[in-house]
Every structure is written in structure tokens, then in C-alpha cells.
Structure 1
Amino acid sequence: MEYTEEELKAALVETREKLFNIIECLFELGILVSDTEETDLAKRALNFKFEQTVTNLNQLLNFKRNELSSVKIPLDIIQYIDMGRNPNIYTREFVESTRKMNQYLRGKMTAMKLFRDTLSDKIILEFPELTDTVNGVVERTSPNNN
């Protein structure tokens, strides 16, 4: 099932809010655990925060389970985030490497076109009877005919 861009954005915003709530709960839970005293009030606060964290995790788990199923996230990105790195840096590095590869391939294509044209000119010069065949090959291998 395909979703519109607006639906995906709304689902991502809601997911981000749920994740933020979980992170906030875990942060508060960490503070409570490190500063807890052996009082009933502290134990109840800690217990409440545990329950709130579990509730938030369940909400995230149950949140429109299939809403984002059409969004495919590459395993590389998940591993990158698991290592504690910023996914924006991954995106920037990916775009940069793609740009470099694109430039490299464009250069190879230009060189091959130049080689093809030079070779065809030399073949026609040496073997004029192959002119139609060589021109046919050049025409079929030109990018305009795809």
C-alpha cells in the first residue's frame, strides 16, 4: 500500500514525538534511579516512571504498525545509528560518494564515446566498404537511441 507524502510526514512526526517521549521517560528514570532514596514516595515515583516508560514503549509498538511499512530503511543506516552516529552525516557522505561515482562514470562514458567515434572514423578510413555497418553500430550505441 502506497502512502502520500503528507501521510508519511504525519506518521514520521508522530513517531518522532513518541520516541521523544520515550527518551524523556528514560532520562527521568535514570535521574530517579541515581537519586532515589529508600522512601515510599521515591519508590512510588520510580514505579510510576517505569510504568510510564513501558506504556510509551507499547504505544510506539502498537502505533499504526503498518503505517510506515512501505518505508524501507537500509540496514547500513540502522547500523550507522546503532554505532551512535548521526544519520544526517551518513546522508551527506552518501550523497558525496554518489556524486563522485557519478562524475567518475560520466568521465568513463565520455571517454568510451570518444573512443567509439575515433575507432569508427579509423575503421571507415581503412575499410570504406564497412561504412554502413560502422555507422549502424555508432547509431545503435549512441545515448540518444535508448
Structure 2
Amino acid sequence: MAPGLEAEVDDRLKDVIQDLYEIQSSIHGYLGPETKQVLIGKIHDLTASLQTLSATSAGLPTLIPPEIIDYVEEGRNPDIYTREFVEQVQKINMILKGKSEAYRTFRDMLAEEIVKGEVGTQEEVDQILESYVGEEEGEEVKQES
């Protein structure tokens, strides 16, 4: 994206704000039929500024997920969407953590049963468990930083 595009969109936003200010001023000082045409002209200017802004900003990347835009268009608070999204992510993380812990427990139990059932496999089982423990510690270090 060219830096000039952002400046162009910024200028178009300023035009829209200026048009809104002029409309507000015209409404505040409305004197009747003689200012009606002026107000109509300013509304047309605003419409043109909004169309120009829309066309200019089409080249900008969209950083807002469409779900949030839909949420706002329905008249709902986007903070509620964010809170619900975070709660959902936390719930999924808890489920995945539980599954991970269950697999670790199963791994350890399976290792014990293999050692009990097969004589002479203690060294191999220990080596395998040590390689997994090293990977798990590495994951915890990555998550903490």
C-alpha cells in the first residue's frame, strides 16, 4: 500500500468532517426558505465527499473482521463481541489443555504398563519419555516468553 493512499484517505475524511460542520452551522443558523438551497447544496457536497472517500478508501486493507462490522450494524456493542470472543478462546484453550494433560497421563500409564509387561524395556521407555519431557519443557518456555 502506498503511503500516498493513506494521506489521500485522510484528506477525504477531513473533507467529510468539514462538510458535516458546514451542515451543522447551516442548520443552527437556519433562517427559513432563503437558507434552504444553501443547506441542500451542502448536503449534496457531503454526499459527494462520502462517495469520494468510499472510492479512495477501497484500496486500503481491511483490518476489522466482518463479524464485528455486522455486530455494529445490528446496533450492538463491539466490546461485547470482543468479550464473547475472548471467552470462547479461553474455553477452547481449557479444553485443549485438558486433552493435552489426559494424553500425558495416558502416555505415562502406557509406559508403566509396557515396562511391567516387557522385561528389559526400561531403558528404551525412559529414553522415549525423556525426549517428550524435553519437548514439553521447550513448549512451556516458548509460552512464557
| Corresponding residue SS for 2:76 | coil
Q: Report the Cα distance in structure 2 between the residues aligned to 1:106 and 1:143, rounded to whole angstroms.
A: 18
TM-score, normalized by length of structure 2?
0.61
Q: CA deviation at 1:139?
A: 5.8
1:88 aligned partner: 79
Q: What is the Cα deviation at residue 113 of structure 1?
A: 0.8
Report the CA distance shift for 1:130/1:48 in structure 2 as closer, same or farther (over 3 A).
same
**TM-score normalised to the size of structure 1?**
0.60
- Mark the runs of 5 or more structure 2 residues left unpaired by the alignment: 140-145
8 Å CA contact 1:21–1:56 kept in 2: the answer is no
One-letter amino acid of the structure 2 residue matched with residue 98 of structure 1? V
Q: Distance in 2 between matches of 1:36 and 1:133?
A: 94
| SS of corresponding position for 1:84 | coil
What CA distance in whole angstroms lies between the structure 1 residues aligned with 2:98 and 2:110? 18
Q: Which runs of 5+ in 1 are unaligned?
A: none
Write the distance in 1 (CA, Å) between the matches of 2:68 and 2:130: 42
State the Cα deviation string for residues 39-74 of structure 1 (Å, max 9, x = none). Answer: 2422x13312321221221231133532x22x4433
Q: Does 1:102 align with 2:89?
A: no
Corresponding letter in the other structure for 1:47 = I
RMSD of aligned Cα (Å):
4.1
Q: How many residues align?
A: 129
Change (3 A) 1:14 1:113: farther
Q: Considering only CA atoms, is the larger Rg found in Structure 1 or Structure 2?
A: 2
Q: How does 1:40-55 map to 2 (within 5 A)?
A: 40-42=34-36, 44-55=37-48
CA distance in 2, matches of 1:96, 1:40: 57
SS at match of 1:63: helix
- 2:17 maps to which of 15, 21, 28: 21
- Counterpart of 2:107, as a letter, is R
Q: Distance in 2 between matches of 1:64 and 1:78?
A: 16
Give percent identity, aligned residues only: 31
Whole-angstrom distance in 1 between the partners of 2:112 and 2:49: 71
Change (3 A) 1:53 1:45: same
CA distance in 2, matches of 1:107, 1:143: 20
In structure 2, relative to structure 1, the CA distance for the partners of 1:47 and 1:84 (3 Å cut) is: same
